[in-house]
Amino acid sequence: MLNTQTNSLTHDLNKPHYNVLDGLRGVAAITVVCFHIFEAFATSHLDQRINHGYLAVDFFFILSGFVIGYAYDDRWSKMSTKDFIRRRIIRLHPMVVMGAVIGAIMFYFQGCSVWDVSSVTVVALLGATLLNALLIPAMPGHEVRGLGEMFPLNGPSWSLFFEYIGNILYALIIRKFSTKILALLVFIAGCGLATFAIAGPYGDICAGFSLTEIEFTAGFLRVLFSFSAGLLLSRIFRPANIKGAFWICSITIVTLLALPRLGGAEHLWINGLYDTICCVVIFPILVYLGASGKSTDKYTTRLCRFLGDISYPLYTVHYPFIYLYYAWVKNNKLTFEQSLPGAAAVVIGSIILAYICLKLYDIPVRNYLAKRFAKSKKD
């Protein structure tokens, strides 16, 4: 989550705030939680009921590129690359650490037939926690859960790893591109992403969580295209007057992410084509509509603000509870209907925990770090 997986950077700048985009980020984050819940009942990507929730990551990346381009493209005369990276670390990393800590605390309660947590030593767990907190990926075959994840204590951290890559590429290289060169990059990256989706081994782009060649390639293509596309959109954006943009876009996002698998095992390319159309065509349109829309009543405004506030914390804290829920379902051989109270508890509890982390940890820590770095810069 990635970003996306950030709340809007425009809170700290004297620029208009894209309230609807905040709300859409929250809607996508909640859909991701529901998508992950249904992993407990799927044998593969082919038969998962909420099937395309993984595309939320690409939506987050496009949002991230759009918001970062809008917030920073015209500020480089007053800001160094070091300043930008520092801002991004302050914005992203406190919740990366929190997600790792929560994952470590809950690890020994997640044992099931799919992974044996009892064989993992405390020393190994502490090492995994440190790696996850520093966003250093684990190598396949050398991580504590045994699934090949970069971040076995909190799986979605892989997208934050790629979010950092996108941010670094932007700061060092991509921001210097002219709009035409940026458009060329978007086109080339889009062709690469489409090739992986349509002609690749999975028939989808639900990949990037591991350091294997295929997974890393997919993750890199996803962030390179989507982040760059969002940045390009921010440069050419001319708002229209869109009424009801939040509700139109929210319904569209939920529908796209929940749609069943297309094509089946016999025609993988059909689903790959769907993923490509979502990422290359529909998501940029949704970001455009969301940036053009305004929440005109106080209830929608409050809802968008709340959803935007919890979106990133929710993305970073929910997955340890998915591991727990998954183990509970497997150990007790539950159907979804039998596990429905637990599923509801995961969704609602994750939202509550995200809000608590936001208010009592994330905001205070970010404020402290921002003041500390500001003071050290003056000194």
Q: What is the pLDDT of residues 47-90, one digit of tens each?
A: 999 999 999 999 999 999 999 999 999 999 889 999 999 999 99
Q: How far is Cα 230 from Cα 179, in angstroms, rounded to an integer?
A: 12
What value does the CA radius of gyration of the chain take, rounded to a whole number of Å? 20
Cut 0.85: pTM above it: yes
Confidence of residue 263 (pLDDT cuts 50, 70, 90): very high
Q: Can you give the pLDDT at residue 141?
A: 87
- The crossing angle, in degrees rounded to 10, of helices 283-292 and 19-37 is 140
Q: How far is Cα 334 from Cα 227, in angstroms, rounded to an integer?
A: 39
DSSP E strands in the chain: the ranges are none
Q: How far is Cα 208 from Cα 61, in angstroms, rounded to an integer?
A: 13
User: Residue ranges per domain, the chain?
Assistant: 9-373
Residue holding tokens 């859909």? 31
Helix (H) or strand (E) holding 326: helix 319-332
Q: What is the pLDDT of residues 222-240, one digit of tens each?
A: 999 999 999 999 999 999 9
Residue 293 main-chain phi, psi, to 5 deg: -85, 160
DSSP, collapsed to helix, strand or coil, labels residue 205 as coil
Nearest to 275 by CA among 56, 64, 60: 56
Encoding tokens for residue 166? 């996108």
What percent of the chain has a predicted confidence (pLDDT) above 90? Answer: 89
Encoding tokens for residue 93? 């990393």
Q: Mean pLDDT over all residues of the chain?
A: 94
Q: What is the pLDDT of residues 162-196, one digit of tens each?
A: 999 999 999 999 999 999 999 999 999 999 999 99
Residues with Cβ within 8 Å of 271's Cβ and at least 6 positions away in sequence, in order, are 203, 204, 261, 262, 263
Nearest to 20 by CA among 236, 253, 292: 292
Confidence of residue 377 (pLDDT cuts 50, 70, 90): low
- The DSSP string of 212-273 is SHHHHHHHHHHHHHHHHHHHHHHHH-----BTTHHHHHHHHHHHHHHPPPSSTTT-HHHHHH
Residue 255 has pLDDT above 60, yes or no: yes
Q: How many CB atoms lie within 10 A of CB 235?
A: 15
| CA 166 to centroid of chain Cα atoms | 13
